[in-house]
Amino acid sequence: MSQTDLYVTIGSAAVILLMLSVAWVLGFRQTAKLDNSEVARLANAEGANVEAAAIDAKGRAAVAKLSGGKLLVAKVMADGVSARVLSQGQARVRLGKRKLSIAFGDLGYPSLNMRLESPPAWLTELGAQP
């Protein structure tokens, strides 16, 4: 390795560290979390009220039964929350021992898979299979 190669390598490492530092300062490591208040805010934005909600232990996914027979599905994606409201018949709900899976009729929104410590009883009303 020549002296020029050494300078290029050190300079490249310094620039990478600078870029990582700037990203960290700007909030690169921020993540969103779902809780009952965030689910209620998302439901209110759709003009509905939350009747019941289930949120995974990490706060990364949630499903809520809304007034008017609607279903709200929310997922944390990077530093934001992606939510979808649909009628209960537009999703296939499967409930295992501690895992909930919701698949949609279109490919535009990925399936929701979440772990629940104790699944609420209202999920069985959605056609969930034990």
The pLDDT of residue 42 is 92
Q: Pick the residue with more confidence: 66 or 92?
A: 66
Place 129 in a pLDDT band, splitting at 50, 70 and 90.
Answer: very low
Is the pTM higher than 0.75? The answer reads no
Closest by alpha carbon to 118, among 95, 93, 98?
98
Helix (H) or strand (E) segment spanning residue 55: strand 50-55
Q: In percent, how much of the chain has pLDDT > 90?
A: 32
Q: Is the pLDDT of residue 96 over 70?
A: yes
